[in-house]
Chain A
Amino acid sequence: QKEVEQNSGPLSVPEGAIASLNCTYSDRGSQSFFWYRQYSGKSPELIMSIYSNGDKEDGRFTAQLNKASQYVSLLIRDSQPSDSATYLCAVNGLEGGSQGNLIFGKGTKLSVKP
C-alpha cells in the first residue's frame, strides 16, 4: 500500500523561528515531490517542488530530499504568523495503479505564534 506519512501536528513555533515539517513515503520509485500549503477553508496551493536529492531553496522555504531514506522535508525560515496553515506533502506514485498521480499526506498543521 503506497503511503505518504506526515505528523498531523499541530506544530507550534514562535515568530521568527525555523519551522521544520517532515514527510516519509513508501514508494521507492517516486521521482517527484511537492509541498502544498492550505489555509483553513481554502484550496491547496503549490509552494515547492523537488526532484533531486539535496536542498532546494526558494525565499524563506527550503525543501530537502533524501531518496535513500525516503524522506522529504520543508524548512520555513523566519516563520511569520501568515505561515500558519496546513502543509501537505505530495509524492508521485508509481506502484499499484497510481500511474504517476500524486499521493497526498494528511498534512501537518503549523501554528506560528506572534
Chain B
Amino acid sequence: NAGVTQTPKFQVLKTGQSMTLQCAQDMNHNSMYWYRQDPGMGLRLIYYSASEGTTDKGEVPNGYNVSRLNKREFSLRLESAAPSQTSVYFCASSVVAETQYFGPGTRLLVL
C-alpha cells in the first residue's frame, strides 16, 4: 500500500516549457487535490476533484490545468511555465473533503 505517489520528485524547466505532474493513490479515495506550497504562503489549493469525472478550481488555478484520469490518478499540467510557478507541489487524497493524505511532493524550479 503506497498511499499517494507523485512523479517526478524534482524538475527544472525553462520559462515557456510545459510539463505534467502525475499523482496516483491506491486508497480508493474519491477526492483528490493539488496544492502548491511557497515560503511564507502556506498550502494553497490549485484544483481539486471531488469525484471521478469532476474537477473544480481552487484558490490559485491560473496557469494550470488538471485531468482526473480515473479514480486513482489526478494530473496537473503547466502549459507554459513561468518563474512564478516555482514551488513545491503536493497532491493529496481523501474519502471526503476533510481528512487528507499527502504525497511526497514535487519540487519545481522554473528558470
Contacts and interface: CB of A to CB of B under 8 A. Distances in A.
Nearest to B57: A97
A101 B93 CA distance: 12
A92 B97 contact: yes
A106 interface: yes
Interface in A67-114: 88, 92, 97, 99-102, 104-107
B98 A46 contact: no
- Interface size, B (range): 20 to 34
A60 interface: no
B11 to A, nearest CB: 16
A101 B43 contact: no
Given A42-B104, A43-B104, A105 B42 contact: yes
Interface string B24-59: 000000000100000011111100101000001110
B97 A99 contact: yes
B74 interface: no
Contacts of B105: 42-43
A106 B48 CA distance: 20
A97 B57 CA distance: 9
A100 B101 contact: no
Interface of A: 8, 32, 34, 42-46, 49, 88, 92, 97, 99-102, 104-107
Interface of B: 33, 40-45, 48, 50, 56-58, 90, 96-105
Closest A-B pairs by Cβ, 7 of them: A106-B42, A43-B102, A104-B43, A100-B97, A32-B98, A44-B102, A104-B42
